[in-house]
Amino acid sequence: MPSSHSKKLAIYPGTFDPITMGHLDIIDRALNIFDRVIIAIAVNSAKEPLFSIKDRQQMIRQCFPDKYSRIEVDTVSGLLVSYAAKKGATAIIRGLRAVSDFDYEFQLALMNRKLERDVDTIFLMPGFRWIYISSSIIKDAARNGGDVCELVPEHVNTLLLEKFSKQ
């Protein structure tokens, strides 16, 4: 066990609107590499989320009833890399699903490195069964009555059903 001095911390940022099985897969993989992971709900100015930040925070916390010592759920406003540096993180975790993710992720990672040289981006691949999912496609299916129960945790599925039954 490393001393508390050398404990490695990573930030896993995203919109998480909502968290999916693909995100959980990435978090599991990150926990195999890092001692602690902060799941950081960040603002993507291009997106208009379905769930409030508070709801997303609660949804994510509910996924980890027994891993609290290694996981923290937080929100980030402002620059992600400044937050990462302030927390003492050495890495930002991003999931890479398909080739289509690459251009955007490459730009993001390079800009982040330009802004903060001491924080590296690490890309992890989710399991093959999660390669083609995204929060948007799941919401779109659920909004139109599709069954997404295998793609999100059970409590998230319940919240999606509730949300769309009201619309």
Nearest C-alpha neighbor of 122 from the set 103, 96, 148, 86: 96
> By rule CB under 6 A, what string of x and - marks binding of each residue 41-60 to ligand COA?
-xxx--x-------------
3-state secondary structure of 134: coil
Q: Nearest approach, Cβ of 95 to ligand COA (angstroms)?
A: 3
Q: Which residues contact 108 (CB under 8 A, 6 or more apart)?
A: 94, 121
Pairing between strand 36-42 and 91-95? unpaired
47 is catalytic: yes
Give the residue from 165, 167, 163, 166 showing the smallest Cα distance to 17: 163
135 annotated active-site? yes
Query: Judged by CB under 6 A, does residue 111 bind ligand COA?
Result: yes
Given candidates 30, 130, 156, 159, which one binds ligand COA under the rule CB under 6 A?
130
Residue 20 makes contact with ligand COA by CB under 6 A: yes
Considering CB under 6 A, how many residues would be counted as binding ligand COA? 25
Where do runs of H (alpha helix) occur along 10-167?
21-33, 53-62, 80-87, 99-115, 135-143, 154-165
The reply to whether 22 sits near ligand COA by the rule CB under 6 A is yes
When asked if residue 134 is in the footprint of ligand COA (CB under 6 A), the reply is yes
Backbone angles phi and psi of 76, in degrees to 5:
-125, 130
Active site residues: 23, 47, 97, 135
Site residues for ligand COA per CB under 6 A:
13-15, 17, 20, 22-23, 26, 42-44, 47, 79-80, 95, 97, 108, 111-112, 126, 130, 133-136
